[in-house]
Amino acid sequence: MKVVLVLVSVFFTKALALQCYECIAHFPETCNRTWECPADVCNSVAATFSLGGVQVEHSVRSCLPAVFCAKGRINTGFLKATFNSKCCKTDLCNDKAVPALPKQPPNGKKCCANDNCSETVNCEGDEDHCIKGTAVPFIFRASLKGCASKSICQDFKSILQHFNMEAHIKCCKGSLCNRLL
pTM value? 0.79
> How many structural domains does the chain have?
2
Domain assignment present for 4 = no
- Mean pLDDT of all residues in 96-111: 94
Domain CATH code at residue 118: 2.10.60.10
Cα-Cα-Cα-Cα torsion 60, 61, 64, 70, nearest 10 degrees, comes to 70
| Nearest Cα to Cα of residue 85 among 55, 64, 103, 105 | 64
Residue at 125 is within a domain: yes
142 within a domain of the structure (yes/no): yes
Give the mean model confidence (pLDDT) for residues 172-181.
92
Mean pLDDT of the 1-7 span: 40
DSSP state of 27: B
Give tens-digit pLDDT for 48-99: 999 888 989 988 899 888 888 889 999 998 889 999 999 999 999 999 989 9
pLDDT-derived band at 29, boundaries 50, 70, 90: low
Per-chain mean pLDDT for the chain? 83
Indicate whether 78 and 49 sit together in one domain: yes
Three-class DSSP category at 52: coil
pLDDT the model gives residue 2: 42
In the predicted structure, residue 180 carries a pLDDT above the cut 50: yes
Distance, CA of 21 to CA of 15 (rounded, Å): 16
Domain that holds residue 40: 18-103
b/e per residue, 42-60, with b = 16+ CB within 10 A? bbbbbbbebeeeeeeeebb
